Amino acid sequence: MDPLRQPLPDLASLDLLVSVAALGSISAGAGAHGLTQPAASMRLRSLERVLGVQLLERARTGSRLTPAGEAVVEWAGAVLEEVRGLLAGVAALRSGTSSLEIAASLTVAEYLLPHWLEQLAARAPASVSLQMGNTARVAEMVEHGDTELGFIEGPRPPGRLRTRDLVRDQLAVVVGVRHPWARRRRPVTAAELASTPLLLRERGSGTRDVLATALAGEGRPPTAHMELGSTTAIKAAAVTGAAPAVLPLVAVIAELRAGQLVAVDHAGVDLVRTIRAIWRTDHTLSPAAQRLLAIAQAPLDPSGTLR
């Protein structure tokens, strides 16, 4: 890597320039930084000399950014965001611990996050605050800045956020042992799934979205025998034989092994989904969030449990 060319622009002056652009005047930017207007003007002129370009057009009526100034502001914003992440990480190192705010869809929170957080605690202490909701709600929390990092399921990543694919997760068609499908020998088809009332999660759930996408070729959404707000509630209803359910394999492993549920073969329907991490495009992940993200990329084994 080549050494940085000297002289380097002053970070405080770049931060001032960004404030001037955001607030609309040198005086407003100076006030935000606790400077007098002459002192702020002096810093900005020094920055222009270091960079070798004119950043502001100055007139009696005020100052405005030049095209070069607009470009520098855009680049400086990204640099300053990285510096803030660096300072936050160093502060966490000084304190010996770090805090992390995350949100996760219910399936991820119940069946995957405990393993990830156990590994995170073993590598570096972190105080974790977790909020749970369906996939749509988690994406909303991340977008609004209510949480730093989110984990969701579903067929499509939200286009307004940065995403990283983590693991591929298989959904399973399951029924209670007393349901007629528990004894069938031929696979359930997409047409049968589309026409059969099912135990479904609420709208906005990643599991439901995957199923709806898989059945889109049948020209109809899945039919609800009952809508329930959690995977645990759906499993309990399925065990009674009330209706079939389509649930993440990782969530029903224990019930399948205990003989409480039966997995039904299916054909002509793609029930594989992607679990993703999401965060804001204008946010640099903290060191704790980056560590958790690396841990979460561990694959699932065929039994649905983490390797």
Q: 62: left (phi > 0), else alpha (psi -120 to 50), else beta? A: left
Query: Residue 163 in contact with residue 278, Cβ under 8 Å?
Result: yes
pLDDT at 125: 65
Domain locations in the chain?
A: 11-94, 97-166+277-296, 168-273
Residue (of 175, 136, 130, 133) closest to 155 by Cα position: 136
User: What's the rounded Cα separation, in Å, for the pair 99 and 113?
Assistant: 16
pLDDT at 250: 87
Omega before residue 7 within 30° of 0, cis: yes
pLDDT at 150: 95
Helix (H) or strand (E) holding 298: none
pLDDT at 119: 87
Contacts of 59 (CB under 8 A, 6+ apart): none
Class of CATH domain 11-94: mainly alpha
Give the number of other Cβ atoms within 10 Å of residue 15's Cβ: 19
**Same CATH fold assignment for domains 11-94 and 168-273:** no
- Residue identified by tokens 């906005």 is 204
pLDDT at 169: 84
- Give the CATH fold of the 168-273 domain: D-Maltodextrin-Binding Protein; domain 2 (3.40.190)
Full DSSP string of 195-238: HS-EEEEPTT-HHHHHHHHHTGGGTSPPPEEEEESSHHHHHHHH
Residue (of 286, 305, 306) closest to 102 by Cα position: 286
Q: Each residue's pLDDT tens digit in the chain (307 positions)?
A: 577 777 889 999 999 999 999 898 999 999 999 999 999 999 999 999 999 999 999 887 778 899 999 999 989 988 888 787 677 666 655 655 567 899 999 889 988 898 898 888 877 767 888 999 888 899 999 999 999 999 998 777 777 899 999 988 889 999 999 999 999 999 999 999 999 999 998 888 888 988 999 898 888 889 999 999 888 899 999 999 999 999 999 889 999 999 999 999 999 888 988 899 999 988 888 888 988 999 998 654 444 443 3
Query: Is 97-166+277-296 assigned to CATH 3.40.50.2000?
Result: no
pLDDT at 95: 55
User: What's the rounded Cα separation, in Å, for the pair 148 and 284?
Assistant: 9
pLDDT at 128: 86
Q: HSE on the CB side for 46, CA within 13 Å?
A: 15
User: What's the rounded Cα separation, in Å, for the pair 302 and 150?
Assistant: 25
